[in-house]
Structure 1
Amino acid sequence: MTPILLTVYPDECDAFGHLNQASFLSLFERARWEMLRAGPGMDLFDRTATWPAVRKTVIEYHAAAFPGDVLGFEQDLTHVGRTSFTMRQVARRARDDALVATAEFLFVCVNRQGRPVAVPQEFNEFMAARRRRAGEVHRLTVNGVSLEVEVRGDGPALIFIHGFPFERSIWAHQVAALDGWTRIAPDLRGMGHSDAPDLGYNMETYAADLAALLDLLGVDEVILVGHSMGGYIAFEFLRRWRDRVRGLVLVDSRAEPDTVEGKRNRDATAATAREQGAEALAETMLPKVLGTSTLDGEPATVERIRAMMAATPVSGIVGALGAMRDRQDSTPMLPGLAGVPTLVIVGDEDELTPAAQARAMADAIPGASLVVIRAAGHVPSVERSVETTDALLAFLESLP
């Protein structure tokens, strides 16, 4: 997002020539008003008979600023509730990009009688549009957890839900290539660069995180693209917010729950992660998640996937394993997905979710189509990225 540029003047500085703390607050506020002036107008809150009252402020000062310095201020929402929102602002010195200060402001919207009222929809839409245009990586807080999410483009929305134990970069090719769509790719809680709490992992929570994220981004309707565990999350999202789902893509996923043996294996894998760390898990899983064509002929891809798994926080690993172990059986809901355009993608060398299983799932969903990606294992979005993107694009172009 384009920063708001403000100049430091002598009357804003203390006896030693430093920009003083009170003036910093004024500059942060001026930057917010300048942002509105360049967008929906500084009278936005007057028009909606709403006022954003500051309830809490946290500021951290990183470097001094002096008269004549030009500071660039960036603004972004990190949380939106019904009557409140949190805005993060960053100030950098324009000449050398040095970080000068960061701040978080918690606002509560009130009416003229001082009573809490809803955050104006026009403000939410303006901030969401700025974020989509920026095509940047953001940290957004949902359900008390900070998630890292990449947002690119404009148009109908896709949300890419990665599997276990990966992060959003498995979708890098698809996110980069699908122009004409708003592409949303978060790191799930406990994975990638998102927060990894010790507790709070189940399919319901993962799905609720995504719903809250879409709310924060101003997205009402979305196409779910779920890989492996991401498919399980997509099923849970459908259970709770089917009216928000325009389409469904399941990549190397399945509808059945874990067997008794599968549940035991989840617990054993969690114990390994606790005792030996994520690297031990990565070494064990590597030959299972990649196809033989990749393992034998693409060492760079093998190392990329190994490093990605080895970097996953142990708390996130253990939490995800428990969530997968305890997930519902989604098989009964498949016939009821009539009316939800669905694509099933699977690698022909996938041993975790074999092509025959994917074919049976596609057959059970009315109108679903199946694409088998050749020479790919469990992660075709990485192993055969072009072919996976092509299959996804053909599906998107077929949507009404």
Structure 2
Amino acid sequence: MSSVRRITLTDRDITLNCAESGPADGTPVVLVHGHPFNHTLWAPQAHALAAAGHRVITPDLRGYGDSDVTPGQVFLADFADDIAALLDHLGIDRTVIGGVSMGGQICMDFHRRHPDRVRALVLSDTSYGAETPDGKAFRNALADRLLTEGMAGYADEVIDKMLAAYNVTALPDVAAQVLGMMRATDPRGAAAALRGRAERPDYGDTLASVTAPTLIVVGADDVYTPVSDARSIATLVPHAQLTVIDGAGHLPGAEQPEAFNESLLGFLKEIC
């Protein structure tokens, strides 16, 4: 069973679009998309996890997909607290939580703020360090550009970095889906997240304190957060498992869903 609905989080003053699938009594798994995407990025994982008996929750973050937009600046902590409020609304105490890229950083912030609610962590193609001064300037300039020009030009420029360059032509349906998500994102939501992400903290101490089982996944040809970044996270997190997905870039769950799902389902089978 799968459903998509809009959920109003009164305490957060936000309405989020959220997809759910799988049995209501299954182990909860929350999957957090990155920038500038929406919950459909996780469709291959949601289908596989639900078929395996897990309860899968894939929200559109505020400012993305069909969720409400908050202009200005949205911090990673805001996204993390939105997820905590969403879990409260759904009656879920503890969850497996996973994210890709910015979504992975949101998961780190969720663990930093709500460690008792984390049953396990899944971190895909992400990094843990605070933003550099150059990085802050870049993100704020990009936010200005998106508000002025919209998403289309940016999407065309980065598609061969979101996916491994060879997959843009080898996987035309995946490339079209990723481009479609990026182009459809509200520039106000994307800009607000960029400005907030520019102020992110260093999550090194957070990662070192993780006691929950942790899976780290990375595309072998990721140019944004390369394998070396994933190995750095694996070094920090006690007992973390690392999977490198061949034939993939920054979005291995979309580029090589069978390999990604095999790693994820195997990890969950060990801990659930």
Question: Shared fold (TM-score greater than 0.5)?
Answer: yes
Q: Check the 8 A contact 2:80/2:110 in 1, yes or no.
A: yes
Which residue, out of 252, 255, 274, partners 2:147? 274
TM-score scaled to structure 1, two decimals?
A: 0.65
Give ranges in structure 1 of 5+ residues lacking alignment: 1-133
Which residues in structure 2 correspond to 1:81-120 (within 5 Å)? none
SS of residue in 1 equivalent to 2:96: strand
SS of residue in 1 equivalent to 2:93: coil
Q: Matched residues in 2 for 1:334 and 1:208: separation?
A: 18
Residue 289 (structure 1) aligned with residue 156 (structure 2): no
Which residues in structure 2 correspond to 1:160-309 (within 5 Å)? 160-178=31-49, 179-199=52-72, 201-309=74-182
Which runs of structure 1 show a deviation greater than 4 angstroms over 4 or more consecutive aligned residues?
none
SS of residue in 1 equivalent to 2:148: helix
Offset at 1:399? Answer: 0.5
Q: Check the 8 A contact 2:73/2:191 in 1, yes or no.
A: no
Partner of 1:98: none
Partner of 1:49: none
SS of residue in 2 equivalent to 1:254: coil
Q: Matched residues in 1 for 2:126 and 2:140: separation?
A: 20
Q: Check the 8 A contact 1:171/1:381 in 2, yes or no.
A: yes
Q: Matched residues in 2 for 1:329 and 1:242: separation?
A: 16
Partner of 1:151: 20
Cα deviation 1:103-136 (Å, max 9, x = unaligned) = xxxxxxxxxxxxxxxxxxxxxxxxxxxxxxx531
Cα deviation 1:209-266 (Å, max 9, x = unaligned) = 1001001111011011111111111111111111111000000011112111111110
Q: 1:200 to 1:325 in 2, by over 3 A?
A: closer
| Between structures 1 and 2, the one with greater strand share | 1
Q: Which moved further from structure 2: 195-204 or 242-251?
A: 195-204
Residue 331 (structure 1) aligned with residue 204 (structure 2): yes
Residue 369 (structure 1) aligned with residue 236 (structure 2): no
What amino acid is aligned across from residue 230 of structure 1 in structure 2? G
What amino acid is aligned across from residue 153 of structure 1 in structure 2? G
What amino acid is aligned across from residue 254 of structure 1 in structure 2? S
SS of residue in 2 equivalent to 1:220: coil
TM-score scaled to structure 2, two decimals?
A: 0.95
What amino acid is aligned across from residue 374 of structure 1 in structure 2? D
Cα deviation 1:298-323 (Å, max 9, x = unaligned) = 22221211111011001111011011
| Between structures 1 and 2, the one with greater helix share | 2
Please say which structure displays the higher CA radius of gyration. Answer: 1
Q: Check the 8 A contact 2:20/2:57 in 1, yes or no.
A: yes
Q: Which has the higher contact order (CA 8 A, sep 6+)?
A: 2
Which residue, out of 140, 148, 153, partners 2:7? 140
What amino acid is aligned across from residue 309 of structure 1 in structure 2? M
Offset at 1:292? Answer: 2.3
Q: Check the 8 A contact 1:345/1:372 in 2, yes or no.
A: yes
